Amino acid sequence: MKSTIFTMLLGVFINVIFNNDVYAQENVTELGPTVSVDYSALSFEKVVINGKVGLKDKKGNIVIPVEYEDVDVFETKFPIAVKKNDFWGAVDSDGNMVIPAQYEGLFRFQDKNYASVKKNNKYGLIDKTNQILLPIQYDQDLWFYDGLARIRLNEKIGLINEQLKIIYPIELNDLYAFDETGSAVASKNGKWGLIDNKGKIIAPFLYDAVSSFYNNRAQYKLNKKMGMINRSGKVVIPNNYETLSNLYFNQIIAKKEGKAGLLDSVGKVIIPFKYDLVQLGLKDYIPARKNDKWGYINKSNNVVIDFKYDDALMNTADFFVVKQKDKYGAIDKDGKIILPFIFDEAIISDNFITSYPSLQYIFTKDEQSIYFNEKLECIKNCRKLSKLGLDNYRVKK
């Protein structure tokens, strides 16, 4: 059922929390995001003559002689990495080889005073005079992103900052990227927890699985049950539930003993666990499914719309978008039809969380879509209404 928001919200996290592959470090990009390159913004351009490579500046002046096997065109300042006799070194602005060509890889200074190098299939850090700052002993390129780099040794991971201080010891099995709040999911000795970008443990390594934070809450799984912690690592919802969604609008969709209900941010039951499925209550009404039929309840758990529909969408006003006999339409609180049951599909736009309370409903018939706002006024493709016999339907002015 495409429009069941419960499935959309909860399914994504269930896939993460129960799928071990998601936590496999080899599936995670470690060097920061992939970006498209604007070559016009680069400081230099490669010059290739007879199979040899050099660099020229934007004025066409040769700045690195055309005598190397390769050159790092992405570096913006000297020294710049060059490849000679199958090994990498670096030259200064006068063309002098300031770092001998002795490395299997030299991974750019990134406007810093040090760069990661590879030798004998191991990695370390050198400065611009080829002095070793970190021993060439690590199993992974030391690439800094947002001020941090992973260090990997003997299948364990630690963290180092730009001052080259190890802020978390090399003892982690897996480490995810840090999110915008400065926290990252990590594992140690087969258990999962959370650390911050200063190396502090937020949530101890106790859990069978753990998520990133969303709205100051992170889900955890322990003994096959799920709960939630806050940013201090304190358990705010015990692991009593089979599934938990993220926190939206101070509500959490949960499942207990096979039945769905709603919790608030600290685990207080808003809607008891007596339904097959529930969706979020954006305002006064909550779509719920019971005995395979959808209806609406209010936040006092009183039935507002009987359970007799095949689908039901979230709402913020006194109308209800529902599905009956394989067609979608809309009714009011008294069951009066506002929009006839003639549509093949009806959904809420994907950005409903960020756009709330300005919801957008999309009704589709014969692969033609008509858009309505949170008041069920037509806002886009309204001319198609007349083809459906709805010439007098409300159009937003």
What are the tens digits of pLDDT across the range 311-360? 999 988 889 999 999 999 999 999 999 999 999 999 998 776 666 667 89
The per-residue pLDDT for 109 is 83
Where do we find the tokens 């069920």?
376
The per-residue pLDDT for 232 is 93
pTM over 0.85: no
The residues, any chain, with a CB within 8 Å of residue 16's CB and separated by 6 or more, are: 22, 211
The per-residue pLDDT for 36 is 44
CA distance 295 to 274: 13
CA distance 88 to 99: 9
CA distance 314 to 317: 10
b/e per residue 372-385 (b: at least 16 CB within 10 A): bbbebebeeebebb
CA distance 233 to 29: 26
Each residue's pLDDT tens digit, 360-395: 999 999 999 999 998 999 999 999 999 999 998 989
The per-residue pLDDT for 282 is 87
Residues in the chain: 397
Q: Which residues of the chain have pLDDT under 50?
A: 1-37, 39
b/e per residue 312-321 (b: at least 16 CB within 10 A): bbbbbbebbb
The distance in angstroms from the start CA to the end CA of the chain is 33
Question: What Cα–Cα distance (Å) separates residue 173 from each residue in 22, 51, 80, 127, 320?
Answer: 14, 44, 34, 29, 49
The per-residue pLDDT for 7 is 38
The per-residue pLDDT for 353 is 64
CA distance 106 to 87: 9
